[in-house]
A = this chain, B = another copy of it.
Amino acid sequence: MDRKELFEKKPKIKINDKISWCPTSAAMELIGGKWKSVILTHLISGTKRYNELRKEIPGITERTLSLQLKQLEEDGFVVRKVFTKKPPLRVEYTLTEFGFTLSPILNSIVEWGLMAAETKGEFIFEE
């Protein structure tokens, strides 16, 4: 079936047991929310430890970071690897191949954010 036919028949979409009414909401069920795309963008540039993410994403709380990573793992975007048995732990998060398929979305979001800041907003530099 081609895209045009698909579009007309408006099938529901099931991904990871979440059912949605259109491709956009299917995507948003998985990567919507305030922080998921931010986390994923930071993982595009390479594997990161929990604390690295925390420092690179100052606005997020630890609990939320933890929960979002868990969901991203469940949905197959991220792999979690533990390298020690006793504290201090070392845990690394890496994008999966499926996770990388999000790059076009994530890149267009970054580009838009920069453009919007330039034209409708402002950059705030600190000393």
Contact = CB atoms under 8 A, between A and B. Distances in A.
Contacts of A121: 13-16, 26
A67 interface: no
A41 B29 CA distance: 15
A120 B34 CA distance: 24
A59 B108 contact: no
Contact of A76 (B117, B120, B125): B120
Contact of A110 (B23, B58, B117): B23
Contacts of A108: 104-105, 108
Contact of A115 (B101, B106, B125): B101
A120 B25 contact: no
Contact of A116 (B26, B58, B126): B26
Contacts of A32: 32-34, 37
Interface of A: 3, 6, 9, 11-16, 19-30, 32-35, 37-38, 41, 57-59, 76, 98, 101-102, 104-106, 108-117, 120-126
